[in-house]
Each structure stands twice: as structure tokens, then as C-alpha cells.
Amino acid sequence: MLYLYNNYTGDVLNFDMAAEMASDAGIRVVTVLIHDDIASAPPEKKELRRGIAGDVLIIKIAGAVAAVSQDLDEIVRVTTKAVENTRSMGMALSAGSLPETGEPTFILADDEIGIGMGVHGEQGVGNQKLMPADAIVEQMMAPILADLPFVSGDEVCLLINNMGATTMMELLIVNRKIRQILSDSGITVYDTVMGAFATTQEMAGFSISLMKLDEELKQYYDMPAASFGCKWTGSRGQS
């Protein structure tokens, strides 16, 4: 059995307990932690990073491998490669709110943005003055590209995640600038996925995820899939 989830303390604690229970029942469990958020720890400590919206791409790959292979070690190998090839970063124009109280999860001034947000509405690594969309994208893309690093000749899947209260028009503006930066860097976009995948109530903002692809990952990415939250029709068809 594969346990695949985002790297958060509470998640790790509970999944570790579940793994112990499964082991007592004679079930072999292997855990792969998703840690794609480059804002939460430096490259030399990437195992401490949080998992954010890049998990959509990683879970898609893992599900495809599991659909065609009964070999747990093979599923773990490919899934681990997908994790290691994925980098993400988020930003917010406004804080999310807690459903129970309606209170914001953190405070942003009207002329501020937050950089490096988590998927549960956590405050990012810092606040700064509001800038035009192109400048924000440039600021986010520079560390994402440098972290793997992504280099000229690479082929990637691009995921632009709506944090919860961002319009499709705004995501398209972000996509235009990302595509320009990738093109200027000699990086080819194999597929683009945009939508509300990892959200927080009322949070306006977005995250950018890049997964570096090879022929093996493309094969699994292109396989059709159907779930409550997302459907892939196959051959780069997502809805």
C-alpha cells in the first residue's frame, strides 16, 4: 500500500499511526511525502518543505502507475520521481477565512500581497507591496526555475492553481506571463492545467507548479482518469 500525501505535521502523525495499524494487520505500507513548496524550506532541506498544489500532478501520476502495475516498489519509484521533479510557489492578494468564525487566517493590508502561502490558508514567508501581475509572476518564477533547476530543453507540465477567489481571467493573465518566461528560457510546456484544486475559503491568489517530464512521466500523465474533483480524458485532456 502506498501512502501519498502532503508534508504537514498533523498529516504525518496520523498517517504514521495508520501505517502502524496496517503493519499490525500484515499490510506492507510505503510512504511518499509531497514537498513541492519551495518557499517553505531551502533546497538543502527540501524534505522539510510543505506539499501544496503540485500534489494534483503527482497524485495523477501515482494513480496511473497503480492502474497498470501491481508492483509497489515500481509505483513508489515513479511516484518519487514525480515528487522530485515538481516545484511550486503560491501568493495571496487576500487572506482566507475560517468557516467556524469568519475570521481571516492572517492579516494583509489593502496594498500588500503575501508570498509563499500554504494550502490550508497559512500565512506565507513574507508580505510585500502589491505589484503588477507580470512582476509578481517574474518574482515567483525565478526561484521555481532555479530550484530544480529547470533548464533549456526541459519539457514541463504547468499547473496554475486558483487559491479560492481568483477569476479565470486573472489566471489567464498569469498564464500569459509564465508562458513567456518559459519560452524565453527554452522550456517547452507539454500541458497547462488551470483551476481551483487546492483552495481556502475567500482567499484570492494563485500558485504556480511545474513538473519536469520525461517519456515515462508523460506516458502516465496522458492516461485517462476519473475522480470526484478532476477528470483526465487522456492525451493531455483535463477538465
Q: Which residues are catalytic?
A: 120
- The three-state DSSP-derived secondary structure of the chain is CEEEEECCHHHHHHHHHHHHHHHHCCCCCEEEEECCEHHHCCHHHHHHCCCCCCHHHHHHHHHHHHHHCCCHHHHHHHHHHHHHCEEEEEEEEECCECCCCCCECCCCCCCEEEECCCCCCCCCCEEEECCCHHHHHHHHHHHHHHHCCCCCCCEEEEEEEECCCCCHHHHHHHHHHHHHHHHHCCCEEEEEEEECCCCCCCCEEEEEEEEECCHHHHHHHCCCEECCCCEECCCCCEC
